[in-house]
Structure 1
Amino acid sequence: MDGAGEVIENGNAEPRSALIFLGTGCSGYVPRPMCLIRPSDPPCQLCFQSLSVPPERNRNYRCNTSLLIDYCGREDEHRYILIDAGKTFREQVLRWFTFHKIPRVDSIVLTHEHADAVLGLDDVRSVQPFSPTNDIDSTPIYLTQYSMDSITAKFPYLVQKKLKAGQEVRRVAQLDWTIIENDCEKPFVASGLELIPLPVMHGEDYISLGFLFGEKCRVAYISDVSRFLPTTEHYISKSEGKQLDLLILDSLKKEGSHNVHFCLPQTLEAVKKLCPKQALLIGMTHEFDHHKDNEYLMEWSRREGIHVQLAHDGLRIPVDL
């Protein structure tokens, strides 16, 4: 696993919970279709290679960024909390729910309302019990009011609770919508797990959410960020006495900068500043070669004293939350 599959725990007992990376790619995913239908000269070797290896052995095939928290609380009952359901959600279910034997989704948490975070919501019905009349329990879903307004326009049939006169019943995903705040001081509970919203800038005109969770091991998940807000930085910085056990952080490109995402130089600067015990990077384009770039990151980790690696689709990390 190139050093990225280590157990994150604070004790001797085997962790009961786990983090499963359903996707670690950017909005355009990997392989990039244009690299395949109009190959460059020479062709993009990473995109062609990513089609030739089975998914369970392929570190360079990346669906839209998404995390599944397999949370086992005090009652020893596993609950499955999904963060984001983007354009590739159906493929992620086929690839990784089956591989890791995930039986359902108990709740959904959204970081923002962009296509790579929400356009798979229609396919949530594929992981819900079948009922032609929609007579099933709704899956709780947590999102900001801004995201709610956007999704109401995109998917009105997922939001409306009552049929209009003469309207036929159609089977659709059943979701129970709950509004959360862009505020670190206003945590919420999803399927028994407390999550603290971590507002970050995703471009200077837009706020996206990351999430902090875990009592025994503190994990921060921040998938779409171009700048940290001071309040968020305060909640996850070692210098504030709040060191993270694991930081999962956006890293779009290998070099340069981007107006709405961290690229690797900014990502590594943020890791140095926040100083978590370990960091895993997500949201990568086809510029990243998992094996080669993890070798570079291992050298960086030894030099800086913070373990950093690229995550990959299908990665499962046992963690004691």
Structure 2
Amino acid sequence: MENGNCFESESKEKKDSSSSLLFLGTGCSSAVPNVLCLIQPSNPPCEVCTQSLSIPPEKNPNYRCNTSLLIDYRNDNGEHKYILIDVGKTFREQVLRWFTHHNIPQVDSIILTHEHADAVLGLDDIRAVQPFSPTNDIEPTQIYLTQFAMDSVAEKFPYLVQKKLKEGQEVRRVAQLDWNIIKNDFEELFVSSGLQFVPLPVMHGEDYVSLGFLFGSKSRIAYISDVSRFPSNTEHVISKTGGGQLDLLILDTLYKTGSHNTHFCFPQVSSLKFNIP
């Protein structure tokens, strides 16, 4: 799906009465276009990267920010809650391009798949979508992540996890976040902004575990953005014989041909059988 596309009707009536998915980014860690293709163009030039700058992003399948999904969840009370999965290097650009385009007013909670740069380096910019307070006197945004990711984020952004100021330390406006630890275990469900999620541990290279997530009651959706292999337990959970029929599977696919050591590519994805419609 194109960057910035909604998985629902775009009519205001439909948006107000139902939940929807907004793909803020479907690109790789370096995003698309590839900068090197533009500053050191080949002969002939790369068609994808050249085309990515030629038409507006909302109509452009080749302009892609870091992978990120926004869930516009309409609860039983008719309230819309906005749940963000991953906050990568291009988060600010995604807000400027897609929040404004789709009238997204805030972020209510955040879920992280893993702690790589393309999933977390936009955390500092969360303050831009929070109410302004020079003294940080606001309700923090709930954020859900594994302990491994928490330890990594604490090293990258110590000021975002610090609870109290040290003696003599000045107050500086930073994103206010409430950190919640989740487990790499599909049996350890959690709730974010009223919506229940099932963690889906997957291999992102043979030395690294990333998380996908299963969510939705009326529609059963699995979102897995970084995967090179499914552990058997996770594969069972999202199979028809395991957890039940999937309505939508959103799956990592890096290249159209060939293979990669840390991501699925199209040949591997096309050979998977999860019994979805």
Q: When the two structures are superposed, what TM-score results if normalisation uses the length of structure 1?
A: 0.81
Distance 2:74 2:186 in 1: 24
Calculate percent identity across the aligned residue pairs.
70
1:274 maps to which residue? Answer: 274
1:31–1:46 contact (8 Å) kept in structure 2: yes
Structure-1 residue corresponding to 2:83: 81
Alpha-carbon spacing, 1:29–1:7, altered in 2? closer, same or farther (3 Å): same
Q: Is the 8 A contact 1:239 1:274 kept in 2?
A: no
Corresponding residue number in structure 1 for 2:93: 91
Whether the aligned pair in 1 keeps the contact of 2:75 and 2:194 (CA below 8 Å) is: yes
1:228 is paired with a residue of what secondary structure?
coil
Q: Deviations over 1:151-185 (max 9, x none)?
A: 00000000001011111111100000000000000
- For residues 195 and 103 of structure 1, the distance between their equivalents in structure 2, rounded to whole angstroms, comes to 23
Other-structure match for 2:262: 260
2:140 aligned partner: 138
Q: Report the secondary structure of 1:113's partner residue.
A: coil
After the TM superposition, which residues 1-321 of structure 1 pair with which residues of structure 2 at under 5 Å, given as runs?
7=8, 16-240=18-242, 242-270=244-272, 273-277=273-277
Residue correspondences, number = 270
CA contact (8 A) 1:17 1:70 kept: yes
Structure 2 stretches lacking a partner, 5+ long? none
Corresponding position of 1:286: none
State the alpha-carbon separation in 1 of the partners of residues 139 and 271 from structure 2: 44
8 Å contact 1:222–1:248 — kept in the other structure?
A: yes
Specify whether residues 183 and 134 from structure 1 end up closer, same or farther in structure 2 by C-alpha distance, changes over 3 A only. same
Question: TM-score, normalised to structure 2's length?
Answer: 0.94
Structure 2 distance, partners of 1:97, 1:85, is 14
Q: Secondary structure at the match of 2:125?
A: helix
What amino acid sits opposite 1:235 in the alignment? V
Distance 1:183 1:30 in 2: 33
1:22 and 1:66 in contact (8 A); partners too: yes
The separation in 1 between residues aligned to 2:161 and 2:270, in whole angstroms, is: 40
Runs of 4+ that moved beyond 4 A: 4-8
Residue 240 of structure 1 deviates from its aligned partner by: 3.1
C-alpha contact (below 8 Å) 1:81/1:107 kept by paired residues: yes
- Structure 2 counterpart of 1:109, which letter? I
SS in 1 for 2:268: helix
Q: Distance in 2 between matches of 1:150 and 1:136?
A: 25
Gapped runs of 5+ residues in structure 1? 278-321
Q: Quote the Cα distance in structure 2 between the aligned partners of 1:102 and 1:19.
A: 12
